[in-house]
Amino acid sequence: MKMLVRTLDMEYETVSAFAAQAGFKTPSGDLIRRDTRGHLSSGLFPVWVLGGVAVVLLLLTTTGCGKTAAASYRLNMVESAKQRLKPEQEQQVATILAALFGTPDEPIAPSECGLDAAKLHLAAGPVRSDIVGRKNGLYREHCAHCHGVTGDGMGPTAAFLNPYPRDYRPGVFKFKSTERADKPTHADLVMVLRNGLAGSSMPSFALLSDAKIDALSEYVKYLSIRGEVELALMRAFFELDDEDQGRLPEDREFLIEEIVLPVAEAWQAAEDALIDVPEMAADIDMAASIAKGKELFYGNKANCVKCHGVTGLGDGQVNDYDDWNKVVLQAHKTVQGGLEQAGEASTWDMDADEADEHRAELAWLDRFQKVLDGNALPPRTIRPRNLRQGIYRGGMRPLDLYYRIHAGINGAPMPAAKGTVPPEDIWHIVNYIRSLPYDFNGTLGVDKPMVARDRL
């Protein structure tokens, strides 16, 4: 019970002193006490103070001042693991590439590649978008966070995109005006940059100036050539004799003639590999053409429904992979199979050499698995296009559709109709496909709610 007495003129130092005077017992854990010099102090929990100090110290130790190192190219670890390269061999590849192609800030290229140094310079380098009149940094401003600094399609944002951004290193491009196995022309790359790829995360950069688009296309070519050279170098180790002692020759004849030139020439040959597109008859009967196209669509020659489905929704075949994802998928399978096999073997009845080999194999499998976990995106299946959506990645012009059907899509399961389907028939299929988004129960009609379930 407390006392109902005012005590304004009674200055009690502590509750405990007053309580003692009044005969009460104070609860323990009194928040007030006198320190050694007789000053009042509060017994506050040093825990919190220590906590705060700890946080500050933690921050200070983990921060570390200083700039981040310049951006650098990443080695193609999946290929390196596949080729069973040793660290010194990887190092050699990196050195050769640096000598041939420079760094992300300072790109160079062998003259055989035919790349324009000024354009590369404009595209390369660190970016500060606030600096007016800056002379470079385009790639890192617009492309690197998806496509990666190395052009490996593994930038920070890539893992969250569907489909994944393009990995330029194999030198395979899907949407172009050249025959299936050929490289895209400069115009093709510019077109993709300008229009984007409808239905994917690749945006349209039409609002950039022509010079910038040009520079970026050149840089993509540069990264692709560099990636292909890297692959060729890594594969070349397999061809070495014993006397080479696991080192590639570094003379000009080998590097340029045998490695770089084939790659560069393939790119230069693109201009000559354009698909020859015959004219569509000007007086064509569109209705008849669409009907013929439908026949072909469902027919055996073109066999479109196998993948695109009898409804055209792209649900005919959903378990396939594009080439980039196939590489990773295959690698996973290799590692899985290898681990199973190695797990079955027992070192009891092996001699010393065999046991060493077995252990080396396990070590390699383990390394490969780590590489796949850290350096590759999980494989995603590829869906055939939903043709009732009216959204086509490579462009919606009849010309674009002709290219896709004629040459197929390089790197994807879409086959080339060249040779199987004559050119006029391809035009019929194109006309049929272009009618599909407006085809409701077989009639061309106005904007009704989509019959097709929305799948891009």
Partner 1 sequence: MSTVESTSPAVQESPQTSVAPSHSHAASTAGRLSTFLSTYVFSKDHKVIGLQFLFSTLLWFLVGGLLALAVRWQVAWPWSDVPVLGKLFAQQGGQMAPEFYTMLFTMHATVMIFLVIIPILAGAFGNFLIPLMIGADDMAFPTLNMLSYWFMWPAFIAFGASFFVEGGAASSGWTSYPTLATNVNSSPGSGWGQTLWLVGLTFVGVSSMLGSVNYMTTIILMRAPGMTMFRLPMTIWAMFITAVLQAFALPVLTAAGFMQLADRTIGTGFFSPEGNIVNNAMAGAGGGQPLLWQHLFWFYSHPAVYIMILPAMGMVSDILTTFARKPLFGYRPMVYSVAGIAGLGFIVWGHHMFMSGMNPALGVTFMVSTMMIALPSAVKTFNWLGTIWGGRIQLTTSMLFALSFVSMFIIGGLSGIFMAATPVDIFIHDTYFIVAHFHYVLFAGTAMGVWAAIYFWFPKMFGRTMNEFWGKVHFFLTFVFLNGTFFTMHILGAVGFPRRLADAYHYETFHHLQPLNAFMTYCAIGMVATQIIFAVNFFWSMFYGPVAGRNPWGANTLEWTAPSPPGHGNFDYQPVVYRGPYEYSVPGIEGDHLMQTDPPNQAAAAAAAAAH
Partner 2 sequence: MKRFAAVFWSLLFLSVPVLGVATFIVGPAYDIWLPRDVSEHGAAVDGLFYFILALTGVVFIATEMVLFWFIWKYDESKSNGPGRYVHGSHTLEVVWTIIPAAVLLFLAIYQMNTWADVKMRRPNMTPTVEVVGRQFEWRLRYPGRDGMLGTPDDLHLVNDLHLPIDEDILIQLKSMDVLHSFFLPNVRIKQDAVPGMKIPVWFKAREEGVFDIVCAELCGWGHYKMKGRVTFEPREAFERWLERKYAEQEATQPRDSEMAMASGVVSHPTQIAKNQP
> Which parts of this chain interact with partner 2 (CB under 8 A)?
99-100, 108-111, 113-120, 157, 160, 177, 185-187, 190-191, 194-196, 198, 201, 203-204, 206-207, 210-211, 213-214, 217-218, 252, 271, 274, 277, 279-280, 390, 396-399, 402, 427, 434-435, 438, 444-448
Beta carbon nearer to partner 1, 5 or 446: 5
Q: Whole-number minimum distance, CB 38 to partner 2, in Å?
A: 32
Select the binding partner of residue 132 from partner 2, partner 1, none (C-beta < 5 to 8 A, by kind). partner 1
CB 105 within 8 A of CB 125: yes
CB atoms within 10 A of CB 276: 7
163 contact, one of partner 1, partner 2, none, CB 5-8 Å limit per kind: partner 1
Question: Are 261 and 254 contacting, i.e. CB atoms less than 8 angstroms apart?
Answer: no
41 vs 111, beta carbon nearer partner 1: 41
- Residue 48 partner contact from partner 2, partner 1, none using kind-dependent CB cut-offs of 5 to 8 Å: partner 1
Cis check: omega of the bond before 27, within 30 degrees of 0? no
In the chain, what is the straight-line distance between the N-terminal and C-terminal CA atoms, in Å? 77
In three-state form (DSSP H/G/I as H, E/B as E, the rest C), the secondary structure along 147-176 is: HCCCCCCCCCCHHHCCCCCCCCCCCCCCCC
Shortest Å distance, C-beta 11 to partner 1: 8
**Alpha carbon distances (Å) from 327 to 78, 86, 257:** 9, 21, 27
CB of 110 to partner 2, least distance (A): 6
| Contact by Cβ (8 Å): 196, 391 | no
40 strand-pairing partners: 34
Minimum CB–partner distance for residue 127 and partner 1 (Å): 5
The residue among 103 and 330 lying less far from partner 1, judged by its C-beta, is 103
Q: Cα separations (Å) of 400 from 191, 396, 427, 431?
A: 11, 6, 11, 12
Question: Could you tell me how many helices (H) and strands (E) the chain has, helices first?
Answer: 17, 4
- Of 52 and 422, the one with the shorter C-beta distance to partner 1 is 52
* Residue 398 CB, nearest approach to partner 1 (Å): 25
Return the exposure string of 379-402: e unless at least 16 CB atoms fall within 10 Å of the residue's CB, then b: bbebbbbbbbbbebbbbbeeebbb
> How many Cβ atoms from other residues are within 10 Å of residue 150's Cβ?
23
Closer residue to partner 2, CB minimum distance, 21 or 129: 129
Strand, helix or coil for residue 444: strand
Closest to 214 in 3D by CA, of 233, 194, 196, 242: 194
CB nearer to partner 1: pick between 107 and 163: 163
| Residues constituting the chain | 456
* Minimum distance of partner 1 from residue 77's CB (angstroms): 13
- With CB under 5 to 8 Å by kind, the binding choice for 4 among partner 1, partner 2, none is partner 1
Return the one option of partner 1, partner 2, none that residue 37 interacts with (CB less than 5 to 8 A, by type): none
Of these partners, partner 1, partner 2, none, which one is at the site of residue 435 (CB under 5 to 8 Å by kind)? Answer: partner 2
Task: Give the three-state DSSP class for 111.
Answer: helix
List strand residue ranges (DSSP E) for 197-354, in order. none
**Cα angle: 267, vertex 105, 120; to 5 degrees:** 35
- Which C-beta is closer to partner 1: that of 22 or that of 99? 22
Residue 416 binding: pick among partner 2, partner 1, none (C-beta 5-8 Å cut-off by kind)? none
Nearer to partner 2 by Cβ, of 213 and 248: the residue is 213
Nearer to partner 2, 194 or 326 (CB): 194
Of 62 and 245, nearer to partner 1 (C-beta) is 62
Of 270, 100, 256, 302, the C-alpha closest to 172 is: 270
Question: Do residues 273 and 398 touch, judged by C-beta distance below 8 A?
Answer: no
Q: At closest approach, how far in Å is the CB of 208 from partner 1?
A: 9
Q: Which does 348 bind (CB under 5 to 8 A by kind): partner 1, partner 2, none?
A: none
**402 binding partner (options partner 2, partner 1, none; Cβ < 5 to 8 Å by kind):** partner 2
